[in-house]
Amino acid sequence: MSGGLLQVRVERKQLEAEDICSYELVSADGAPLPPFAAGAHIDVHLGAGAGLVRQYSLCNPPQERHRYVIGVLRDPASRGGSRAMHEEVRAGATLQISAPKNHFALAEAPYSLLLAGGIGVTPILAMAEALSAQGAAFEMHYCARSPGRTAFRDRIAAAPYAPQVHFHYDSGEPAQKLNLPALLAQLDRSARIYLCGPAGFIDHVKASAAAAGWPHDRLHLEYFGAPAADADAAAGDQPFEVQLASSGKVYAIAAGDTVLRVLSDAGVFIPASCEQGVCGTCLTRVLDGVPDHRDLYLDEAEQAANDQFTPCCSRSKTARLLLDL
C-alpha cells in the first residue's frame, strides 16, 4: 500500500456485453485484499500524473478476498475514465485503487427487491450474491436496452439465484417490460428496495414508489453517473465568491467554473472522485451563505440544511459562501 492506496494487477479483462468490460483485480503482492460488503465501490486512479480518479462498484461475491471485480461501460459522454479503462488498461496492467468504501449497504429486511438499470447492475449483483449466500428472500429485476447490452448474463444464468432474476429489455415485447406499479402493489411494506442505474431509471423508480406511497426510508438508491447538466440552468449561472474560514482568503468562481477546480488550481486540496455530485467524496461544510445544490448525493433534508455542499458541481445562491476549509 502506498499513500493509502492499494497496488493491484489486472488479472483478467473480459468483454461482458456491448461496450461493457469486466476487470478482475488481484493484489500485486499476492496478499488478501481488504474485505468489502455488498454495495461497496473502489476509487481507481488512472492516467499517470493526470489525477484522474473514477469510482467503480465491486460486483463479485463479497466473501471473496483474493480479487475484486468491476464492470465498466464505455460511455461516449465520458470525461476520460471509461475511455482510459477500455483503451489503455489491459490484462497484466498495474493500477492503484483505494480500499473499498460503502455508501450503499444492505440493511436487514424480511424481503429485498433489487432493481438494476444498465451498468448499475454492478452493485446490485454483489447484493444478489450476498443475499443468496445468507439464504435471504429477494428478487432482482435487471433492465437493459437489449440482450446484447446486458452484462453478466452468463454469470447470472449459472448462479444459484438465477430463478430470482428477471430480465427486462427496452427492445423487447411490451409484456416483458418492468411493470413497477404492479410489482410495488404486491410487495409488503416491510421489504426494502435497492436501485442503481442512470438518472432516468432512478427517477422512474422514485416516481413510481412515491405514487405507491412507498416509505422513503425503505428505498435505497445509488446513481450510476449524473445526468447531463441542464443547459438552461447552466446558461443562468452567476459568478460568486467562496471564502476559506482558516485563512480568510476569497476566491472568485466564474459562471463556467467550479469551486473544486478554482480551489485546486490555487493549491487548496479537497478530496474528490466522481466530480459529478454523485459520490460525496468532496463534501464540504458551509459556515455561511446558501448553496445552490446540484448534487445527487445529499437527500432533500440534507440539502435544505444548507450546512454542506459538493464543490465539484454545486454553486451558490448568495454572493459568497464561507467554507470550513
The length of the chain, given as a count of residues = 325
Instruction: Determine the Cα–Cα distance for residues 253 and 239; give it in Å rounded to an integer.
Output: 6
What is the separation, in whole angstroms, between the first and last Cα of the chain? 28
| CATH of the domain spanning 6-97 | 2.40.30.10
Residue spans of the domains in the chain: they are 6-97, 112-223, 231-323
pLDDT at 1: 46
Please give the DSSP secondary-structure letter assigned to residue 58.
B
CATH for 112-223, options being 1.20.1420.20, 1.20.1440.120, 3.10.20.440, 3.40.50.80: 3.40.50.80
pLDDT at 77: 61
pLDDT at 48: 58
pLDDT at 14: 96
**Per-residue pLDDT tens for 99-145?**
998 888 999 999 999 999 999 999 999 999 999 999 999 999 999 99
- Is pTM, for the whole model, over 0.75? yes
Q: Regarding the domain delimited by 231-323, which CATH topology (the fold level of the hierarchy) does it fall under? A: Ubiquitin-like (UB roll) (3.10.20)
**Which residues does the chain have with pLDDT short of 70?**
1-3, 47-51, 76-80, 225-235, 273-274
pLDDT at 88: 87
User: Taking CA 32 as the corner, what is the angle to CA 26 and CA 37, rounded to the nearest 5 degrees?
Assistant: 90
pLDDT at 232: 46
| Cβ-based neighbour number of residue 254 at 10 Å | 12
The domains spanning 6-97 and 112-223 adopt the same CATH topology: no
Instruction: Determine the Cα–Cα distance for residues 191 and 291; give it in Å rounded to an integer.
Output: 35
Instruction: Determine the Cα–Cα distance for residues 176 and 171; give it in Å rounded to an integer.
Output: 10
Please give the DSSP secondary-structure letter assigned to residue 98.
P
